[in-house]
Amino acid sequence: MEKLLQFESGSSMTGVVALGVLMIVSVLLLLLQGRKNGTLPPGPRPAWPVLGNFPALMGGQMPFLTLHKLSAQFGPLMYLRLGSVPCVVISSSEVAKEVLQVKGASFAGRPKRYGPAVIAGTSDFKNISLAPPGPYWRQLRKSCTHELFSPSRLASYEGARTDEIRIMLKELLIDSKKGDAVDVRGWLTGVTANNITRMLIKKRFFGKGPDINQEQKKDFERLIYRIYDEASAFLISDYIPYLQFVTELQGWTSRFKDIRNELTSTLLPRIFEVEKHKQRAKERELSGDSDSDYVPDFVDLLVGAPLDDGKPLSDNDISMMLTDLFLGARGTSATTAEWALAEFVIRPELMKRAQDELDTVVGKDRLLRESDLPHLHYLNAFVKEIFRFRPPAPFGIPRESTRACEVLGYSIPAHALVLVNQYSVHRDPSVYRNPNEFDPERFMEQPEVNHLSGVDFFQLIPFGAGLRTCPGNKLGNLLVLLMLGNLLHHFDWSLPPGECADSFDMSGVYTFVCSRKKPLFLIAKPRSPALLLG
């Protein structure tokens, strides 16, 4: 950053004067903007005319922590200027409710970002996460809600979820017998990913069984990790458009195009097999096949559904839609479960309480069923506390104001970037006692708090809230409960030799999600090996 702000030693007086004029003009523009927009929310004074408040956010790798500290000084509705982009930060449950519910229609937009636009091949986004509000987005969301995440559809995949958990538990049992620490992150990621791909395309891609195509698995993993790393990258041109040439000189355009080419050459034909689905649909239509036992997967539904003005989605739109769904579900569920098990092992008394509850509700002579989950009150409270204490996506997907409006007496300009800092909302001292302490007991005392509603309890919003609530929230929560419940029911967990709870590394790293900095490896001791092998 310092290099960006320094002059070359040989700079001429003309350059100095030009910079001075630029600074004066920028300050005047900022003042005029403030008058034009009325009374803006309080916030830190922009440090530089061009960069705005960026220098204040450059001090750490966790921007949600930086904004949390700033909100303590400037309040729960805070205004920043990031380059030329106005930005509003929400840091309390009261303001979150006002913005996401009361004024929800004014804050349902999505900012357009260069990386996703190049990857998609268009800035006219056709996936559920980034599509702008309007008839098409509503139709797309309705299709997902009714066809993929409806209660009946989720129930129809219960057998697949049970099967997947059991397959992966057997693999974990084999690994645990070696005596070494097992790769918990790998297991959680595999279970989550296979559950999603079985819903989308009825295939498994992760694990060690003979049904796993290892070459496809490697291609899939490499592409997914690359999308996570590069599509969420910070690009200065998203905030200062006339610095687009900097983004191009840094090589980002070619990287994003490479991802798009891989999606076209790998994901569509080899993983999602869109052409195969189209051919199957044609054959069924020509033959008049109306087999009532045939259960279409989600790609079948996307191929046959007229979503865009009566026209079917293009192959590229289908690819982006499926990638969007897969990334959203896989990242948050596996990350949350990994944090949860880490919290359990450094607090063995809490793990014992959860295991005692499982032994009482489920018993020791059968596997956990999904029908048991509502009766596991402590496990549910623990998962809520994990979502509160360590929200997997602290900002969710950023929003944009679609029009100028007023919030709690302050004027918010149109096209402002809106960041809902879940980290701060979940530590709102007006809602939670001792908000910085990890305490599942708080949700035993308040079991009515429902983080899945998106419209009632704005003190706990790990899946967002209002019009842009994550449509897969119930599946995400279910997978976390299922994976944790089974891991605790069938294994005792402890830290590797040489590790102790007081010094165990619980630091995180932030991209789009906030995951553990180090993958979780733990010692697993089977509690019921005969049951797993039965």
Annotated binding site for heme: 470
86: helix, coil or strand? strand
Cβ contacts of 352 within 8 Å, gap of 6 or more: none
**Cβ-based neighbours of 18, under 8 Å, separated by 6 or more:** none
Cα angle 515, 208, 275 (rounded to 5 degrees) comes to: 85
Q: Report the distance separating Cα 294 and Cα 285, nearest Å.
A: 13
Q: Is the dihedral of CA 349, 353, 358, 360 positive or negative?
A: positive
> What letter represents residue 7's amino acid?
F
3-class secondary structure for 375-433? HCHHHHHHHHHHHHHCCCCCCCCCEECCCCEEECCEEECCCCEEEECHHHHCCCCCCCC
- Answer for the pair 143, 305: CB distance below 8 angstroms, yes or no: yes
- Three-class DSSP category at 212: coil
Q: With beta carbons less than 8 A apart as the criterion, state whether 530 and 492 touch.
A: no
According to DSSP, residue 272 is labeled: I
Known binding residues are 470
Number of Cβ within 10 Å of residue 59's Cβ equals 12
Asked if 405 and 38 count as a contact pair (C-beta separation under 8 A), the reply is no
Token pair for 405: 């409006």
Which amino acid belongs to residue 216?
A: Q
| Cα separation, 60 vs 50, whole angstroms | 21
CB 429 within 8 Å of CB 71 = no
Look-up: residue for tokens 């891609």? 205
Beta-carbon count within 10 A of 67 CB? 25
The 3 state secondary structure assigned to 315-341 is HHHHHHHHHHHHHHHHHHHHHHHHHHH
